[in-house]
Amino acid sequence: MNYTLDFTPVIEGMPALLMACLGTFGLALGGMALAIVIGVGGVILRDSKIAPVRWLVKAFVELIRNTPFLVQIFFIYFALPLAGVRLDPTPTAIIALGINGGAYAIEIIRGGVQSIGKGQIEAGLALGLHKAQVFRLIVLKPALRAIFPSLTSQFVLLTLTTSVASAISAYELTSVAQRIESDSFRSFEVYGTITLFYLVISWVMMRFFAAISTRYFSYPVK
C-alpha cells in the first residue's frame, strides 16, 4: 500500500484545532461544575426523610449510569424539542455532560460522606453548629479529600467524553477535526493529531486537579 503522509491540511487547520481545544475545555469545565452541583444536591436528597425523594435520586442514578451517553445527549437535543424545549448544541452538551457526570458524582461523594464518623457530626452539633455548617465544614470537606482522586478520574473521563458531543455538532475538538477530515480526506493525519491533543488535554486536566488537591486538601490527618 502506497500511502503518502500529508499534514498540510492539519497545519492549515491548526488555528481552528487550537481554538476547538478551548471549546473542549469549556464544555468539560461547564459539565464538571454542573456535575458537582448535581452530585452534592443528590447526596443531600439521597438521605432525605421523604421516601419518594430518595427513590427519585436512586432512579436517576441508575437511569444515567446504565444508558449510553450518546443516547442521553440525543434525547436532550432531539427529543426535548418535541416538548417545546429547544437548546443549541453547546448548552445541550454541557447539560448532558453535567447530568452524566452528576450521576456518578452522587455515588462517589456519597461514599465519602458515609466514611465520616457519626461522632464527628454529633460533636459539631454539640458545639452549636447548624446542620448546614456541620455538613459543609465537618462532613463535606473531609469527604471531598477522601474521594478527590476518584472524582478527578471521573472528571478526566468526562473531559474525554466531550468528543461525543460532535454527534450534535457542538463546538469542540472532534467536531472541528471531522470538518477538516471531510474536506481533505486525510483521516490518519487528522485523527492522529487530535489523539495527541487529547493526551495533552488529559495531562493539563490532571495537573489542574493536582494543583487543587495541593492547595485545598493538603493538610495533616492524625
User: Tens of pLDDT along 87-105?
Assistant: 899 999 999 999 999 999 9
Buried b (16+ CB within 10 A) or exposed e, 195-213: eebbeebeeebeeebeeee
User: Tens of pLDDT along 12-47?
Assistant: 999 999 999 999 999 999 999 999 999 989 988 988
pLDDT grade, residue 123 (50/70/90)? Answer: confident
Spatial distance between the Cα atoms of 154 and 164, rounded to a whole number of angstroms = 16
- pLDDT given at position 114: 77
User: Tens of pLDDT along 127-143?
Assistant: 777 777 777 777 777 77
- pLDDT given at position 221: 54
Spatial distance between the Cα atoms of 209 and 94, rounded to a whole number of angstroms = 20
User: What is the reported pTM?
Assistant: 0.88
Q: What CA–CA distances, in Å, run from 157 to 153, 161, 200?
A: 6, 6, 14
- CATH fit for domain 9-216, picks 3.30.1950.10, 3.40.50.720, 1.10.3720.10, 3.20.20.70: 1.10.3720.10
Are 161 and 100 contacting, i.e. CB atoms less than 8 angstroms apart? Answer: yes
Q: Show the cell assigned to 24.
A: 473542549
Residue type at position 143: A
Torsion, Cα 55 56 58 62, to 10 degrees, reads 130
Task: Provide the phi-psi class of 88: left if phi over 0, else alpha when psi is between -120 and 50, else beta.
Answer: beta
Residue spans of the domains in the chain: they are: 9-216
- What residues have CB less than 8 Å from 17, skipping those under 6 apart? 10, 173, 176, 177, 180, 193, 194, 197
Place of cell 474536506: 183
